[in-house]
C-alpha cells in the first residue's frame, strides 16, 4: 500500500481555496495565478481519486468529502504553524553565555550591553570574565572575547608580546578579528606640572611605570619598539588588570600602558593619552565561537552587534 502523502504545495493550495471558497481569492493570497490553483487542486483530486470541489458557473464549493478533508488538513497546518512559532520562540528566548577579558568586560562590554538587550529583549545574557584560554567545546561559553596572536599570523618581532592564550582547542573555532591591540602610555598631567606633555625618555626613565601582570611584556615590548633598553630602576607598581592600572594612572601613581579599545570607553578626565607613542602589539582582539553554532539566532545576533560596536569604537578612539 502506498502511504506517500500528497504534495505539501497542493495541500496548501487546497486549504486556502477551501477556506476562502474561491480559487481566485486563494490565488491572490498565495501570489499565484488562478490557473495554478486550479491545476494543483485537480492534481490533488487525481492523486486521491476523490472529488473535492464542485465547479459551478461563477463559484466553487466543497463536496462533502472536501469539507471533511479540509477540517483535517486545516488542523494539520495549524499544528505546523504552532510548532514553528514554538521553535522560533525557543530560539529567540535562548540564553547567551559570554566570556570576556576582565577589562574589556567592565570598560567596553558592560556600558554597551543595554543596547544589545534592548535590541534583543528575548535573549538572556550571562557574562563571565577570565583571561584563561576558553574551551568552547566544553560549553564554557557561546562567545568569547580574547586577545592574542592568531595561529599562522606573522608579527613584528619587536612588537610587545601577548602572553595570553586565547584557546587551546582551535579545531572548529571561528575567530573574527574585532580590533588591533594598540598600546598607549597614559598618565595624569599633574605628575609633570607645569608641563602636560612628555617624551619617551621621560616616560621610561623618569616616571614610575605602572605594570599590568596579565600583559607582562607590555612595557618591555614598548621600549624595544621605541629603541630604548633596560627597564628603569624606578619602584615597580603592578596591578592584575588594565582597568586597575588605568585607575592608578588617574591617581597620579605613574604612567600606565593601556590598549586603545579600553581607553575609548573610559573616563579620561584628568588623564593624558600619549598617542604619539602608541605601539601595536603582536596580536589582536578576537571574538571566538564554534563555527557550527555561529549562525544560531542568539549567537549570530551578538556577533553582528559586537562587530558593529567595535567598528564604532575604532572610529571614536582618541587620537
pLDDT average per 10 residues of sequence, the chain (319 residues): 76 93 93 93 92 90 94 90 74 83 93 92 92 94 95 88 93 95 89 60 76 91 82 78 92 91 79 87 96 92 94 63
Q: Alpha-carbon distance 136 to 305, whole Å?
A: 20
Phi, psi of 209 (to 5 degrees): -100, 130
pLDDT of amino acid 319: 43
- Give the pLDDT score at 201: 66
β-bridge pairing 209-212 and 53-55: unpaired
d(CA 87, CA 106): 34
Q: pTM of the full predicted structure?
A: 0.69
d(CA 117, CA 208): 41
* Cα diameter, the chain: 103
pLDDT at 189: 80
Kindly list the distances between the CA atom of residue 170 and the CA atoms of 57, 98, 109, 167, in Å, as whole numbers in the listed order.
69, 18, 24, 6
What residue ranges define each of the domains in the chain, with the CATH number in brackets?
Answer: 8-92 (1.10.10.10), 95-316 (3.40.190.290)
pLDDT value at residue 233:
64
Amino acid at each position: 500500500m502506498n502511504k506517500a502523502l500528497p504534495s505539501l504545495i497542493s495541500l496548501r493550495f487546497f486549504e486556502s481555496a477551501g477556506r476562502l471558497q474561491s480559487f481566485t481569492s486563494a490565488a491572490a493570497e498565495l501570489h499565484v495565478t488562478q490557473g495554478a490553483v486550479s491545476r494543483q487542486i485537480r492534481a490533488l483530486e487525481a492523486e486521491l481519486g476523490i472529488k473535492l470541489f464542485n465547479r459551478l458557473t461563477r463559484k466553487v464549493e466543497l463536496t462533502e468529502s472536501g469539507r471533511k478533508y479540509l477540517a483535517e488538513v486545516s488542523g494539520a497546518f495549524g499544528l505546523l504553524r504552532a510548532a514553528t512559532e514554538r521553535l522560533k520562540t525557543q530560539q529567540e528566548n535562548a540564553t547567551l553565555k559570554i566570556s570576556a577579558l576582565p577589562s574589556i568586560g567592565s570598560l567596553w562590554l558592560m556600558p554597551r550591553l543595554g543596547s544589545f538587550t534592548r535590541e534583543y529583549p528575548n535573549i538572556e545574557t550571562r557574562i563571565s570574565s577570565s583571561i584563561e584560554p576558553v574551551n568552547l567545546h566544553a560549553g564554557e561559553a557561546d562567545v568569547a572575547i580574547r586577545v592574542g596572536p592568531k595561529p599562522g599570523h606573522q608579527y613584528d618581532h619587536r612588537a610587545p608580546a601577548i602572553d595570553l592564550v586565547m584557546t587551546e582547542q582551535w579545531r572548529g573555532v571561528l575567530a573574527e578579528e574585532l580590533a588591533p591591540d594598540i598600546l598607549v602610555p597614559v598618565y595624569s598631567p599633574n605628575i609633570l606640572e607645569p608641563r602636560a606633555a612628555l617624551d619617551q625618555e621621560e616616560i621610561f626613565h623618569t616616571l614610575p611605570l605602572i605594570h599590568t601582570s596579565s600583559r607582562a611584556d607590555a612595557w618591555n615590548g614598548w621600549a624595544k619598539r621605541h629603541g630604548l633598553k633596560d627597564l628603569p630602576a624606578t619602584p615597580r607598581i603592578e596591578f592584575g588588570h588594565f582597568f586597575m592600572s588605568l585607575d592608578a594612572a588617574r591617581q597620579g601613581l605613574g604612567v600606565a600602558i593601556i590598549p586603545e579599545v579600553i581607553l575609548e570607553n573610559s573616563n579620561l578626565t584628568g588623564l593624558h593619552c600619549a598617542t604619539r607613542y602608541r605601539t601595536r602589539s603582536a596580536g589582536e582582539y578576537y571574538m571566538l565561537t564554534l563555527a557550527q553554532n555561529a549562525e544560531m539566532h542568539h549567537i549570530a545576533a551578538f556577533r553582528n552587534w559586537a562587530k558593529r560596536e567595535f567598528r564604532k569604537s575604532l572610529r571614536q578612539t582618541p587620537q
